[in-house]
């Protein structure tokens, strides 16, 4: 059996690995050598925002900008989806950035360099559409990225990839205040023009990313392609403005996610007239087709047992089930 197939089943099945024997039977065999994913670097970027470099050679070998991983600390840990912030194929490492928002991410903060994740599943999702385009075609485009808060982390690898391929792009990155800005120096090194904004005016442009875009547009700066990544409400208003300005816009959606392989339906979205799943169809979609109001409402409903039951009734077959949250 090819080593890669064994590896995939190790990822999906935890400490037990299903092996397809030469006789053609499935064999549930205890994995003799525990595979762990050691943390080789940990850094605090801002209040409640942390960066980790994790040794995961197979993920690093195949991942592309725009994809994500799901990490699990131990046998009893929650599955946490995180967009890939950077990767080093030679070193075999993946960079992840996370913000503490609940019990599981608070537990992650306690991990230090030398500790390890039990599971590190990836690369998952579809890569950015930009990396499949002809380079010369990309060079003719006026590309803008708008990053909000921790959304700066998934924007960075795309901007870095474009920079490495000689493609210019501008970046607007913002946060509530100066102390919550992350990766500014790294982004400045790869962006053609970097515009930093803070909601309270403590640093850079005083206002939101959309206000900065409007100000640039009023000055005569033009773009024909925008990628927005950040909180859903931020992406909604970016898309509202870019639709008015006629700028094609891609967003990276971050709904609640459980298995990450399209089986549970937790990350269900409505894009245009179609039901999509962020984990396998995305996470990137045409922002002008995403129903943000439905996505944000669903995100809140999914947090309660009553809300999950209502969603199951409303969504019927497209709800899927099997997520471990629906009865």
pLDDT digits (tens, 9 = 90+) for 98-138: 988 877 888 888 889 999 998 898 899 889 989 889 999 99
What number is the average pLDDT over the span 249-261? 79
pLDDT digits (tens, 9 = 90+) for 68-86: 998 888 887 788 888 899 9
Residue 183 has φ and ψ, to the nearest 5°, of: 60, 30
What number is the average pLDDT over the span 21-36? 46
pLDDT digits (tens, 9 = 90+) for 278-309: 778 878 888 999 888 888 887 776 555 545 55
Domain borders along the chain are: 1-34, 36-124, 133-252, 256-327
- What pLDDT score was predicted for residue 80? 86
- What pLDDT score was predicted for residue 248? 96
- Return the CATH superfamily for domain 36-124: Translation factors (2.40.30.10)
Closest CA to 123 of 7, 266, 264, 31: 7
- What pLDDT score was predicted for residue 51? 95
- pTM, to two decimals: 0.79
CATH T-level topology, domain 133-252: Rossmann fold (3.40.50)
What number is the average pLDDT over the span 225-248? 94
Least confident of 6-15, 54-63, 68-77, 172-181: 6-15
Residues 6+ apart with CB under 8 A from 127: 64, 65, 66, 67
Closest CA to 55 of 78, 17, 87, 82: 87
pLDDT tier for residue 23 given thresholds of 50, 70 and 90: very low
- What pLDDT score was predicted for residue 4? 41
- Examine the pLDDT at 213 and tell me if it is beyond 80: yes
Beta strand 93-99 pairing with 49-55:
antiparallel
| Same-fold call for 36-124 versus 133-252 | no
Task: Transcribe 57-125 into DSSP letters.
Answer: HHHHHH--TT-EEEEESSTTPPPEEEEEEEEETTTTEEEEEEE--SHHHHHHHT--BTBEESEEEEEES
Q: Is 254 helix (H, G, I), strand (E, B) or coil?
A: coil
Mean pLDDT of the chain: 82
pLDDT tier for residue 60 given thresholds of 50, 70 and 90: very high
- What pLDDT score was predicted for residue 254? 80
Between 31 and 94, the higher pLDDT residue: 94
Between 238 and 322, the higher pLDDT residue: 238
């Amino acid at each position: 059996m090819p080593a890669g197939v064994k590896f995939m089943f190790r990822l999906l099945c935890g400490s037990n690995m299903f092996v397809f024997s030469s006789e053609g039977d499935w064999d549930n065999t205890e994995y003799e050598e525990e595979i762990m994913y050691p943390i080789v670097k940990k850094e605090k970027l801002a209040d409640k925002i942390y960066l980790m470099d994790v040794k995961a050679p197979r993920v690093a070998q195949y991942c592309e900008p725009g994809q994500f991983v799901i990490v699990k600390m131990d046998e009893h840990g929650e599955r946490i989806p995180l967009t890939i912030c950077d990767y080093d194929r030679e070193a075999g490492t993946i960079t992840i950035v996370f913000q503490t928002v609940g019990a599981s991410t608070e537990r992650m903060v306690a991990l230090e360099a030398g500790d390890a994740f039990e599971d590190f599943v990836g690369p998952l999702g579809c890569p950015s559409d930009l990396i499949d385009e002809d380079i010369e075609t990309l060079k003719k485009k006026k590309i803008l990225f708008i990053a909000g808060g921790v959304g700066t982390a998934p924007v960075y690898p795309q901007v870095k990839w474009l920079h490495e391929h000689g493609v210019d792009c501008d970046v607007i990155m913002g946060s509530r205040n100066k102390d919550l800005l992350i990766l500014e120096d790294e982004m400045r090194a790869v962006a053609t023009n970097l515009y930093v904004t803070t909601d309270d005016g403590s640093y850079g442009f005083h206002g939101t990313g959309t206000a900065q875009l409007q100000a640039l547009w009023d000055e005569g700066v033009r773009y024909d392609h925008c990628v927005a990544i950040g909180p859903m409400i931020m992406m909604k208003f970016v898309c509202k403005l870019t639709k008015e300005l006629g700028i094609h816009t891609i967003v990276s959606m971050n709904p609640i996610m459980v298995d990450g392989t399209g089986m549970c339906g937790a990350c269900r979205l409505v894009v245009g007239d179609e039901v999509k799943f962020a984990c396998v169809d995305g996470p990137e979609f045409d922002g002008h087709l995403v129903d943000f109001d439905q996505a944000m409402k669903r995100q809140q409903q999914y947090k309660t047992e009553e809300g999950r039951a209502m969603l199951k009734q409303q969504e019927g077959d497209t709800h899927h089930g099997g997520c471990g949250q629906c009865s």
